Amino acid sequence: MLLRWLDLFLSEPLRNAAPGDLVRHRVLVGSACFMLVFTLVYTAGTLFTPYSPLPSAMGVFYLAALLAARKANTLSLPALFMLAGITGSFVGGLFMNEPHREGGVHAIYLLLPALAVYLLGTRQALIYTLVVAVMMNGVHPLSVIDRLDLTSKEDISRFWVRHVMSGFTFVGIWGLSALHSIARAAAYHSLERVLKKLRGSESKLSSIIESTDDIVASIDTEGRVLVANSAMRQFYRKLFGSELELGQPLLLHSTPERFQLWNERLAQVYRGQRLRLEDTVFPLEGARLVLDLNLHPILTEDGQTVGVTLFGRDITSRKEAEARVGEMHRTLVDVSRQMGMAEVATGVLHNVGNTLNSVNISTTLVTEQLRRSRITGLVKATHLMREHSGDLASFLTSDSQGKQLPPYLVAVSDQLVEEREAMLNEMQSLGQSVEHIKSIVSMQQKHARTAGAVEQVAVPQLIDEALRLHAISFERLAIRIVREYDEVPHIFVDRHKLLQILINLLSNARHALVDSGHEDKCLSIYVQRASEVERLRIQVTDNGAGIAAENMARLFTQGFTTKKDGHGFGLHISALAAEEMKGRLTCSSLGVGQGATFTLELPVKDESA
């Protein structure tokens, strides 16, 4: 209350000054008010005492100091009025009273330079000090020395020594006060620079914190909020429906379960640990939110935890995107598996169709053989013999038809033997074709088992089975197959995934060879140990269309393809399948028209694994 009353006498510039200067301004106003009241009391006292009322005229200076402080931009003019009033009262009293008063050595006189330095500053106070010193220790002693009772030279010398030493002391007090003021000002300016730098750093830090969409907060060891950016306030409002106030507990509106959970988390951070966690919250309005939270302890120089900083980011959209990507990946895997199955089915149908051609030919030949068979002539011959069963001997020796019947039966029997041999051969060929169809279907059934089971696989055998599924198309397109298989151990993998990769690589090689237009279409397959002892390498090399250098980086990217009717899933899914089997699929090519080599590396595990 008192400070507000003192500030009423200060102008706006003086009232808004720095804290150290504001103290001086208030002291000046308070001193002027006190001296003005004291002057009024003294004036009233002169009505009943023999004291002169002239010193009361100094009250004008105190009133002028208050008026100047109300209008001035600096303290210089009000301070001059204040010091003029005090000096006038003191000096005027000395000249008006008895001549033995030695004002130059008075204790009140010695306080004037300190007050001048405090109110005016060192330079203006020096001028004031010198003027008052000359007046009090020179002019005033000279004016009163003749009226003093100084009977000896010793008294006179003692008189001047006191005034000279008082003058030096007077200036010395100014020096000490000036030294204190300069040191205090230097410390104050240094502190101001530090505070200015801190305020600048705080402003920059505040700008950074406020510019982010992440929630940022700081709490003390009691769980009270010390700092919170606008994103944190907005999130708190959305979560609890109330405003976040600094100083309130962060978990004020939490449920007991979450309160207990967060107390356990904060207890870990208070012990110096750092925590990163994902937390799911359910605001009052809207769907659930997933937050990525980082909790860091605030440590002092001696390692004591004095608080916790909390950084949070809304990752709901990212989690939803990850879920969609996972679902898309599963869909792509299913599509790729279906396409692989379709590729296998196409190979199966080609092989079965080719075998069925042989079956149809054999069936047609057998049918024609049966249609042209001499069995009908045999039936007629046996019918004649049945009609002449009673006189069969005379019929065969005397009758013209009967005489021809024995050689006819011999010829028919020979013909029937030939027909039987021919039909047996065709039936054997037909049986082989049916067995081939059964083997093709059996192989397809073996590979149509549920995927995901890891089993021991002989890689060369699996490659040959994949080649057989493409055998018809390779033969039709005149593609030469070169196999170079080293002695390699069996590996433990998902047979379906590996077969899917091999079918995709063989299919791509076939398309590349067809697009190249080369007459000598060659597909080479190599199986060998990789440079790493525990890895096996499968290479599929063709001399087909090759791959442009600018397409190499995107070759395994989802949706990328150079085929007109391509879908861009095969190589992408194959690369993912290789990674799932702890392997890798790579490609190299010298350029367009130079062919390409796809390399699949897989880990080798012994049976104990």
Question: Which string of b and e fits 313-331 if b means at least 16 CB within 10 Å?
Answer: bbbbeebeeeeeeeeeeee
Could you tell me if residue 198 is inside a domain? no
Whether 429 and 467 share a structural domain:
no
Last residue of a domain, one of 447, 463, 483: 447
In tens, the pLDDT along 134-178 reads 877 777 777 777 767 666 777 777 777 777 777 777 787 787 777
Last residue of a domain, one of 164, 192, 220: 192
Whether 33 and 145 share a structural domain:
yes
Last residue of a domain, one of 447, 477, 505: 447
According to DSSP, residue 55 is labeled G
Could you tell me if residue 288 is inside a domain? yes
Whether 431 and 475 share a structural domain:
no
Please give the full DSSP string across 12-35, using - where no structure is assigned. HHHHTS-HHHHHHHHHHHHHHHHH
Asked if residue 107 has pLDDT above 80, the reply is: no
Whether 463 and 521 share a structural domain:
yes
Query: Torsion angle of alpha carbons 207, 208, 210, 216, nearest 10°?
Result: -140
pLDDT-based confidence at residue 596 (cuts at 50, 70, 90): very high
Phi-psi category of residue 478: left, alpha or beta, with phi > 0 → left and psi -120 to 50 → alpha: left
Whether 129 and 24 share a structural domain:
yes
According to DSSP, residue 98 is labeled -
What residues have CB less than 8 Å from 92, skipping those under 6 apart? Answer: 54, 55, 58
Closest among 101, 227, 96, 91 to 162, alpha carbons compared: 101
Integer Cα distance of 466 and 461 in angstroms = 9
For the question of whether the overall pTM of this predicted structure is more than 0.85, the answer is no
Could you tell me if residue 405 is inside a domain? yes
Q: Is the CB of residue 166 less than 8 Å from the CB of residue 141?
A: no
Whether 243 and 392 share a structural domain:
no
Could you tell me if residue 203 is inside a domain? no
More confident residue, 396 or 30: 30
What residues have CB less than 8 Å from 564, skipping those under 6 apart? Answer: none
Q: Is the CB of residue 434 less than 8 Å from the CB of residue 313?
A: no
Whether 406 and 462 share a structural domain:
no
In tens, the pLDDT along 486-516 reads 888 888 888 778 887 888 888 888 888 888 8
In tens, the pLDDT along 55-98 reads 678 888 889 988 998 888 888 888 888 888 877 777 766 666 55
Integer Cα distance of 3 and 314 in angstroms = 49
Whether 238 and 355 share a structural domain:
no
Helices (H), 389-494: 392-398, 400-447, 459-469, 471-476
Rg of the chain in Å (alpha carbons): 58
User: Residue 250 sits in a domain of what CATH number?
Assistant: 3.30.450.20
Integer Cα distance of 82 and 88 in angstroms = 10
Integer Cα distance of 505 and 187 in angstroms = 80
Q: Is the CB of residue 285 less than 8 Å from the CB of residue 238?
A: yes
Whether 582 and 465 share a structural domain:
yes
Integer Cα distance of 11 and 93 in angstroms = 33
Q: What is the mean pLDDT of the chain?
A: 80
Could you tell me if residue 177 is inside a domain? yes
As for how many domains the chain has, the answer is 4
In tens, the pLDDT along 326-343 reads 788 777 777 766 666 666
Domain span including residue 505: 454-603
Whether 260 and 374 share a structural domain:
no
pLDDT at 403: 75
Asked if residue 523 has pLDDT above 50, the reply is: yes
Could you tell me if residue 97 is inside a domain? yes
Could you tell me if residue 477 is inside a domain? yes
According to DSSP, residue 249 is labeled B
Could you tell me if residue 111 is inside a domain? yes
pLDDT at 103: 62
Whether 12 and 121 share a structural domain:
yes
pLDDT at 163: 73
Whether 59 and 78 share a structural domain:
yes
